[in-house]
Amino acid sequence: MALQDTIQVVEPAEEPKVATDNYEVVHEKSKLFYPEYERKSDLKHQTHYCPGCGHGVVHKLIAEALEDLGVQDETILVSPVGCSVFAYYYFDVGNVQVAHGRAPAAATGLKRACPDKIVIAYQGDGDLAAIGTAEIVHAANRGEKITVFFVNNAIYGMTGGQMAPTTLVGQRSTTSPWGRRPVNEGFPLHVCELLSSLEAPVYIERVALSDNKNIMKARRAVRKALELQKNGAGFTFVEILSPCPTIWGKDPVEARKWVGEKMIPNFPLNVYRDRKVEIPNNNAPPHKTVEEIVSGERKAAAEGMVPGRQHHFREMGIKIAGFGGQGVLLLGQLLAEMGMREGLEVSWLPSYGPEMRSGSAHCHVCLSKERIGSPLLSRPDVLIAMNEISLRKFAAQVAPGGTILYGRERLPEDVQIEHAQVICIPASEIADKLGSAKVANVVMMGALLEETECLSSATAMKVLEAKVKNPALLELDRKALDAGRVYIDHTVAVGAVTQADGFAQ
Amino acid sequence: MRQLCKGNVAVIKGAVLAGCRAYYGYPITPASEVAEAAALYIPEVGGTFVQAESETAAINMVYGAASAGVRAMSASSGPGLSLMQEGISYLAGSELPCVIVDIMRGGPGLGNIAPEQSDYFAMVKGGGHGNYRNIVVAPASVQEMADLTILAFELADKYRNPAIVLTDGFVGQMMEPLNLEYREILAPPKPWAVQGTAGTRKNMISSIVLEPDELEEHQRRMEAKYIRCQQTETRCEEYCTEDAELILVGFGIVSRVLRSAVDQARKQGIKAGLFRPITLWPFPSTELAACSARAEKILVVELSNGQMVEDVRLALNGTKPIDFYGRVGGNVPTVEELVVKIEEQIPASV
Ligand SMILES: Cc1ncc(C[n+]2csc(CCOP(=O)(O)OP(=O)(O)O)c2C)c(N)n1
Ligand code: SF4
């Protein structure tokens, strides 16, 4: 039943395959910002960053490296939330601005979509080491082939000087007014050390913008990380200890000095990881066409179609219940599959979740000549109860004049059922005798088909043949199906009400 | 030719057909089979499946993939959708298309895993921050799980906006015949995407617009596309409404039970009919008003304490008496239960 049959589409019936009135807006940088940043212009501010801010230096190092590597066209920069939220103003590359802390996740999506491009995530310490801790750890652990530049200025710049996860012990901020107290705020987080405990990363280094010598080292690190990515290596990470003169309340020169004197002793500069990592690529998925996936089991179903069979009902609802492991859900699926092959509309609705964990399961199967309304059966025509609990729980739901197939030899003595016909089938015993208690559900199927004639046993065999690949098991199923049918045929007179002793009157 | 298929699996078959090549998600009952089917099928056609560390990460991975112009999706249930709301707001603000499936379960909090429709407000009214809309489609069958997922991808691309496939645990868990013929489905060109090429170098994906005038302009433009969407994309289904004195309104699994209840009520001589919104946003208000014009009363049934009923009230604007019947906690009303409710509205004409 195609969508068009069931839905009154308000639009004209024939829609073009590709929508013609697409929304064509292409977003670019705001015209309110300067199109270019000339180093020696007479503007008061070169950038939106404060004078002496480390972000500007890091931008320059990255931009130079991109130019030297000749990858400007291939580069995608993911900018964070923080003072560098506007990083995209300064990089004439593809730009994606993302939510606070999520740059490694967005970069994952981008890199997987564009595996041969250069994807950079640029993040501050609040962004990466607080709100985005999970994202950075897992991107690193998956070995995403991206480069992350982590600007650690030991403070939240953008929001005006709150404590960061990297704020030093004793360092004052607006939210650690007496200085960071480990007893309340814990210790500074060492991200390079943390990430270097993982298998996948290929390059992790911490550098600092404390003086020219260290800035040169930082330049080499930035370049190396990008070069590695260009060459298809794995996860690369550079932490840059960086001044924030404004929030620290220092002039640019003092701020640089502070990086060297206070930050470096707390965050040792080091190459924490520099190695080639061979990541095994086992169990690669097979290649399939869309057609194969979309219509996967269709061919098998086509072979088993049983057209033109007459059914004596307009709609028939079957509820199947028992312990988990008795094949209750599977029996329902088999019946639905059979109904479908006989050209009926079918639905199968399982109980799911904790109920199943507690050991019982049930499902509803609806077979119908017309489109099915509720797949949830409140008044099933047939109940297949594989155990006593199910019988007690669901027998009363069965429609008056309906049928209960009870999978035990006799009804419990205190159970009286008058509104429906009850047939007892010692399914487990029968199945046991055939060689496996597991086929008790197929015994019940045989009984159902024989008693109600809702579907044909030839269809049952076709479906079983399609589902059961092991010939010995298939033979067992065939025997079980027959045994169920024969039990009804020989033991129970049609239309009879079975008494507690299991024999028909 | 038909195949017996689970609703949650049909979503992915539809997605593969629609050209979805990126799935990022996190498991949760009763939506996990969507992720499981994606893990199986999407890599087989050369796409990406990643089980993310959280729904927060998943939706941002979708954001990244969508930025590159790939048809991308995720799926979850209530608690996961709560975590995704920030990301959905960013996707809408950055005008990125993607599909998100919500197989609703009982809430609030951990609630339970049985079916509810209580995420209606969160998904249809938009649970994230800011002025934006989600396009929301509401499948009620396994066939529609595939068909409406395809539609969701098309609408998402057309309007450059997230589209939500909103249904409940029963529709996700049940199996029905699925008839899906292979056909070529082309995505529109995406000149706005960021793909690491010379041609897309100038492009920018962003939701930050600092200048009030610019942000207002951005929002006005979004508003205009939302209005266009409301004018052209509503979809609904009517059953026995021509002569109905009582119009029942329900979506998802409820619409299925209501359909049976209509049949039952008609057998008892009660002229009941069913109006089923297929798009929840845009809500088919005009169609509902037209179909209700001839009726005396409206009864809205939901697996919630009354969420969609607000849109029905807005659509009918006081022209008809509207009553509400809701079950929550994972209880789905039976046909008999609904027939009793119908009888209470319109006593059988004897
Ligand atoms: C979900 C969310 N929470 C909070 C904020 C507010 N916020 C913006 S930037 C920021 C901290 C940024 O600090 P950091 O990452 O260290 O970058 P810096 O500004 O120091 O460069 C915060 C908390 C936000 N934008 N989003
Ligand atoms: S507040 Fe600090 S981090 Fe932000 S721009 Fe100013 S100096 Fe740089």
* pLDDT at A491 (0 to 100): 75
Cα(A109)–Cα(B71) distance, rounded to whole angstroms?
11
Identify residue A38 by its one-letter amino acid code: E
Residue B273 pLDDT > 80: yes
C-beta neighbour count of B32 within 10 angstroms: 18
* pLDDT at A39 (0 to 100): 52
* pLDDT at A308 (0 to 100): 65
Please answer whether residues B233 and B282 qualify as being in contact, where contact means their C-beta atoms are separated by less than 8 angstroms: yes
Across chain B, which distance is largest between two alpha carbons, in Å?
Answer: 76
Cα(A255)–Cα(A250) distance, rounded to whole angstroms?
6
Please answer whether residues A403 and A381 qualify as being in contact, where contact means their C-beta atoms are separated by less than 8 angstroms: yes
Which of A47, A83, A158 is the pocket-test mutation for ligand 2 (most atoms within 8 Å of CB)?
Answer: A83
Residue located via tokens 């979850």: B76
Could you give the percent of chain B with pLDDT greater than 70?
Answer: 99
> Does the distance separating the beta carbons of A108 and B45 come in below 8 Å?
no
Q: Atom 2, ligand 2: which residue's CA is nearest?
A: A244
Report the DSSP beta bridge partners of residue B281.
B136
Hey, what domains does chain B have and what are their CATH numbers?
Answer: 3-232 (3.40.50.970), 237-345 (3.40.50.920)
pLDDT in tens, B10-44: 999 999 999 999 999 999 999 999 999 999 999 99
- Residues in B touching A95 (Cβ below 8 Å): 194, 203-206
Question: With a 6 A CB cut-off, is A246 part of the ligand 1 pocket?
Answer: no
- Residues in A touching B226 (Cβ below 8 Å): none
- List, as ranges, residues 114-153 from B with C-beta within 8 Å of A: 114, 141, 143-144, 147-148, 151
Listing DSSP states for A68-101 in one string gives HHT-TTTEEEEE-SSGGGGGGGT--SEEEE--TT
Lowest mean pLDDT among A172-176, A489-493, B131-135, B244-248: A489-493
For A347, the 3-state DSSP assignment is strand
A378 vs B3, B208, B336: nearest CB: B336
* pLDDT at A501 (0 to 100): 40
* pLDDT at A296 (0 to 100): 73
- Ligand 2 atom closest to residue A52's alpha carbon, by position in its atom list: 7
* pLDDT at A502 (0 to 100): 40
Hey, what domains does chain A have and what are their CATH numbers?
Answer: 6-274 (3.40.50.970), 312-492 (3.40.920.10)
Distance from the CA of A124 to the center of ligand 1, in angstroms? 8
- Residues in A touching B2 (Cβ below 8 Å): 298, 301, 340
Q: Atom 1, ligand 1: which residue's CA is nearest?
A: A100
> Does the distance separating the beta carbons of B334 and A350 come in below 8 Å?
no
* pLDDT at A12 (0 to 100): 39
Distance from the CA of A131 to the center of ligand 1, in angstroms? 9
Question: With a 6 A CB cut-off, is A153 part of the ligand 1 pocket?
Answer: yes
Name the residue of chain B whose CA is nearest to A299's CA: B1
Confidence of residue B348 (pLDDT cuts 50, 70, 90): low
Residues with CB under 6 Å of ligand 2 are A 49-50, 53, 55, 83, 153, 157, 244-247
- Residues in A touching B24 (Cβ below 8 Å): 108-109
User: Which residues of A173-287 form beta strands (DSSP E)?
Assistant: 203-208, 236-241, 270-274
- Residues in B touching A110 (Cβ below 8 Å): 64-65, 67-68, 194
* pLDDT at A304 (0 to 100): 62
Question: With a 6 A CB cut-off, is A56 part of the ligand 1 pocket?
Answer: no
> Does the distance separating the beta carbons of B22 and A109 come in below 8 Å?
yes
Residue B246 Cα, gap to closest chain A Cα (Å):
18
Across B339-350, average pLDDT: 83
> Does the distance separating the beta carbons of A340 and B4 come in below 8 Å?
yes
Q: Atom 6, ligand 2: which residue's CA is nearest?
A: A50
Question: With a 6 A CB cut-off, is A126 part of the ligand 1 pocket?
Answer: yes
pTM: 0.93
> Does the distance separating the beta carbons of B232 and A74 come in below 8 Å?
no
Q: Is B289 on the interface with A (CB under 8 A)?
A: no
Q: Is B154 on the interface with A (CB under 8 A)?
A: yes
Q: pLDDT tens track of chain A, all 505 residues?
A: 333 344 343 343 344 444 445 677 888 876 655 556 555 556 555 688 999 999 999 999 999 999 999 999 999 999 999 999 999 989 999 999 999 999 999 999 999 999 999 999 999 999 999 999 999 999 999 999 999 999 999 999 999 999 999 999 999 999 999 999 999 999 999 999 999 999 999 999 999 999 999 999 999 999 999 999 999 999 999 999 999 999 999 999 999 999 999 999 999 999 999 999 888 888 999 999 999 999 876 555 556 667 667 899 999 999 999 998 899 999 999 999 999 999 999 999 998 865 555 578 999 999 999 999 999 999 999 999 999 999 999 999 999 999 999 999 999 999 999 999 999 999 999 999 999 999 999 999 999 999 999 999 999 999 999 999 999 999 999 999 999 999 998 876 444 444 434 433 3
